[in-house]
Homo-oligomer: A and B are copies of this chain.
Amino acid sequence: MNIQYILELIGTFTFAISGALAVQGKSEDWFGAGFTGFVTAIGGGTLRDVLLGSYPLTWITDIYIIYTILVAILIAGFFNKVLQKLRRTLSIFDTLGIALFTVAGVEKALSLGVRWEIAAIMGMFSAVFGGVIRDTLINETPVLFRKEIYASACLAGGLFYVMLNSFDIPRDWNFICSASFIVTLRVFAVKYHINFPQI
C-alpha cells in the first residue's frame, strides 16, 4: 500500500512537471504554467473518479497531492532550462507515470466492482486524460494522437492486469508485472518507432 502510494505521488509529480513545461513557447506566464501542471496532474484520476462516481475525489481529501504538485510546479519554474535539456529522461518519467496511473486506475475500478473491460478502460483514462486536457488547454493535438503507441500501451497493460488478476496473482506482483509490461511496450515503441497502422 505504502509503496503504491509513493509511486502514485511520483506519477503525479512528473505529470505536473510535464504540464508546466508544456506551455513553453506559448508565451504563458508562471501562473498559466502552474495551472496547466495542476490540471495535467489531477485530470486523469479526476475523470476516472467522476465517471465511476467515486467521491470524494482523492486530491480533495489527500492534501499531500496538492503539495506534491506545488513543489513540482516550483521546480518546473526554477529549473525549466535544465529540465528542457533532460527531456529524454523526463520522457522516462512520463512513461513511468502512465504505467503507475494505469495500474492504480485499474485497481481502483476493480475495487469498485466494475467489469474487467471497464476497469482496463478506466486505467487507460487515468493515465492519458491528464495529458489530453493539457493539450486541449494549450491548443495542441492531444498526445494520444501524436505519440507512438501510448494510450494503447496503457489499455494493453490494463488488460494484462485484469488477466493476471483472474489468475489470482498476488496484488503486489501484479502491480509490478503490469506496470513493467506498459513501460516495456512503450520503450520498445519509442525505440523502434512502432505505430499502429494509419486508418
Contacts and interface: CB of A to CB of B under 8 A. Distances in A.
A165 to B, nearest CB: 17
Interface string A123-162: 0000000001000111101101100010110000000000
Given A132-B137, A199-B20, A151 B35 contact: yes
A20 B80 CA distance: 37
A50 interface: yes
A46 B53 CA distance: 11
Contacts of A80: 199
Contact of A29 (B32, B66, B139, B197): B197
A117 B66 contact: yes
B57 A56 contact: no
Contacts of A51: 46, 50, 57, 60
Q: Do most interface residues of chain A lie in helix, strand or loop, or is the interface mixed?
A: helix
A140 to B, nearest CB: 8
A2 interface: no
A26 B136 contact: no
B196 A60 contact: no
A87 B56 CA distance: 40
A151 B59 CA distance: 20
A77 B80 CA distance: 41
Interface in A61-89: 63, 66, 76-77, 80
A166 interface: no
Contact of A118 (B30, B60, B145, B199): B60
A173 B154 CA distance: 45
B114 A60 contact: yes
Given A35-B144, A151-B35, A29 B195 contact: yes
A33 B28 CA distance: 28
A24 interface: yes
Contact of A63 (B63, B117, B136, B199): B117
Residue among A30, A59, A145 facing the most chain B CB atoms (10 A cut-off): A145
